[in-house]
Structure 1
Amino acid sequence: MMNRETLISKWLDNNLNDQELQAFKNLEDYDDLVKLNDSLQAFKVDEYNTKQELESVLSAIKNPAIQPNKNGNNWLKPFMRIAAILAVCFSLYYYTTTLDTTISTEFAQKTTIELPDASSVSLNAKSTLAFNKKDWKQEREVELNGEAFFKVAKGSSFKVNTKSGTVTVYGTQFNVKQRDYYFEVICYEGLVGVTHNSHETKLKPGDSFLIIDGKIIAKEKENRSTPSWLNNESQFKSMPFKTVIAEFERQYHVDFSLINVDSTQLFTGSFAHDNLEMALKNITLPLQLTYTKENNTIILKRE
């Protein structure tokens, strides 16, 4: 069986036979390799004979008498062109051998991913998770942008990196939500460490770590066994209304326009992810707001 690197090399040279082509298509990162190659097609250099240019460079180095000008640096141009191509080839090789696996969800979409060690991650709407399959046995580490619920298999240390902080797992089940101005970690089972601004906070089951607009917010004990969004419902307790609106937009792929509505007022309540009209009533009636719809925009008013 031809090894992976040889297959990639022959593919780049358009030199695969039918059997080798099928083996190449069976590579786990085949789709990513094709996308990367398509992107590199935009990188073009002037047409020239690489072998001839290289011989010219070597000749110039060996025989200074044939230098084309007093400065003696014209030979650098073809040399740099060759170096540029070698750099691109090296970058391609490096990228394809250290390629991350990335999973993203769109508006109103959720998905569950199984990691290489049988750990599972449920990804909420408009979220992205990235990890490296090849290094997984040595380093269980993921990058998260959005919200996800983790069930981590026993093993070596497990880290979740976000823009707002790092979550180190000492247990098995927890939820991480990282948005523009919102960062929350809830431990459901085991022990979780949250590092924010170089300080680690340990969370036991039911404990939460919440930051809104840069301020740490104290929360009551979590009494649910899993986050509500896994059951297609978003629940809030004394949360700024803007967090409710933002989550609503992600779950229903709509935009909101607020008229005379204070987005910082606190909201307690919930809305389901499968009934737009009922969800709108659930977030407007408690605050005595009215709403109208214009195409994909929902206008909220306080009379």
Structure 2
Amino acid sequence: MKREELLQKWLDHALTPQELEAFKQLDDYEELTKLDNALQHFKAPETNVEAAYNTVQFNRKDTSKPTSWLKPLLRIAAILVIGFGAYMYTTLPNTITVNTLVANKTSLELPDTSAVTLNAVSSLSFDKDLWSEKREVNLDGEAYFKVAKGAAFRVITDDGIVTVLGTQFNVKQRDNLFEVFCYEGSVKVSYNKENIVLTPGERYLILDGKQIRNEKEMLKEPSWIRDESSFKSLPLREVIQELERQYDVTVDASKVDTSQIFTGSFTHTNIDLALKSITLPSQLKYQKKQNSIILKRD
């Protein structure tokens, strides 16, 4: 695959494991990742890519012996500034969309001063022009909300709708999992024509289409806000998927039973400690290989 195609797929977060390995072999891979880290939270307005690149080229100091790697690196920088800015915060005619990358989370304030913290690999959108008429957001992923008091506030997901007036709650919608936890006030969850009201400490959990009963837990906020993922009686596959989101790794769990139940937590700041927190209670071993993890039976 050509360099330009690898770069474009990297920007679109669409590299296959094989393509990712090829991308890592590029001469300027380290420079690309440094630019990636520096631009994680960059926000930029709509810009013409070619014009941005031409501007970078025009302003670059000319030398009698141009450095061979500078020209492609400048082009990449121009594309990254535009690409990441658009990826993190994009505005359509009436809709604002905020996305988070792997191993990242972000906070934002809605027009009514309601606060939202978005977990890794999540997306939230809302219509800014209609906000005064209806407080409504669309969520794909996981988010923690502190809603300002006012008219009804709705969080719409592919699995269900959460409605509140003013409260603090967490919504998680991932593949076959839909979870709502109420921290303050009350929350109404609408799922498959059923309405459930949650009070502080109560959780509503749908896993693989089935409702899972949970004991009441008096918590102040979700653990992922403090860079830690916690699980209570959930299949190991859910833990593995969250590890992949928080560390930008690929986990090969083909040799283990991912349906086994896991209760525990792992940190977002140390991958070795996180892997030990997962594998030791599950009686598993792990092997690190570049950007992938292989899980094995103990």
Compute the TM-score of the two structures, normalised by the length of structure 1.
Answer: 0.68
> Does 1:268 find its partner at 2:282?
no
1:197 correspondence with 2:211: no
8 Å contact 1:176–1:184 — kept in the other structure? Answer: yes
Identity of aligned residues (%): 54
Partner of 1:102: 97
Offset, 1:258: 1.4
Question: Does the residue aligned with 1:131 lie in a helix, a strand or coil?
Answer: strand
2:162 to 154, 160, 167: 167
Equivalent pairs, count = 216
Offset of residue 192 of structure 1: 0.4
1:179 pairs with 2:193: no
Distance (whole Å) between structure 1 residues aligned to residue 92 and residue 158 of structure 2: 25
Match of 2:45 among 11, 26, 31: 31
Which of 195, 202, 222 is equivalent to 2:217?
Answer: 222
State the partner residue of 1:12.
Answer: none
* Residue 98 of structure 1, CA deviation: 4.4
Pair 1:132 & 2:127 matched: yes
1:1-303, aligned counterparts within 5 Å?
Answer: 31-32=45-46, 98-303=93-298
2: CA distance, partners of 1:174 / 1:218: 18
How far residue 170 of structure 1 moved from its aligned partner, in angstroms, is 3.2
CA–CA distance in 1 between the matches of 2:255 and 2:213? 29
Deviation string 1:66-106 (CA, Å, 9 cap, x unpaired) is: xxxxxxxxxxxxxxxxxxxxxxxxxxxxxx98420000000
Structure number with bigger Rg: 1
Distance in 2 (CA, whole Å) between partners of 1:258 and 1:146 is 22
For residues 119-175 of structure 1, give each alpha carbon's deviation from its aligned partner in whole angstroms, at most 9, with x where no partner exists.
000000000000111111011000000000000001111000000000001331000
Matched to 1:219, the amino acid is N
SS at match of 1:137: coil
Measure how far apart 1:31 and its partner are. Answer: 2.8
Partners of 2:215 and 2:106 in 1: how far apart? 29
Runs of at least 5 residues in structure 1 that lack an aligned partner in the other structure: 1-29, 39-95
Q: Distance in 1 between matches of 2:217 and 2:143?
A: 17
Q: Is the 8 A contact 1:157 1:170 kept in 2?
A: yes
Helix, strand or coil: the match of 1:251? helix
One-letter identity of the residue aligned with 2:236: F
Give the Å deviation of 1:222: 2.0
Q: Tell whether the 8 Å contact from 2:150 to 2:166 is kept in structure 1 after alignment.
A: no
SS of aligned partner of 1:249: helix
Match of 1:4 in 2: none
2:149 touches 2:165 (CA, 8 Å); kept in 1?
Answer: no
For 2:255 and 2:297, locate their aligned partners in 1 and report how far apart those are by CA, in whole Å: 6
Question: Deviation of residue 295 (structure 1)?
Answer: 1.5
1:235-259 per-position Cα deviation (integer Å, ceiling 9, x unaligned)? 1111110000011000001011014
TM-score, structure 2 normalization: 0.69
Tell me, in whole angstroms, the C-alpha distance in 2 between the residues paired with 1:170 and 1:118.
Answer: 14
The alpha-carbon deviation at position 198 of structure 1 amounts to 1.3
Q: Which residue of 1 aligns with 2:17?
A: none
> Aligned partners of 2:95, 2:202: CA distance in 1, in Å?
32
Check whether the contact 1:98–1:132 (CA below 8 A) recurs between aligned residues: no
- Measured in 1, the distance between the counterparts of 2:200 and 2:254 equals 40
Give the Cα separation in 2 of the matches to 1:249 and 1:260. Answer: 17
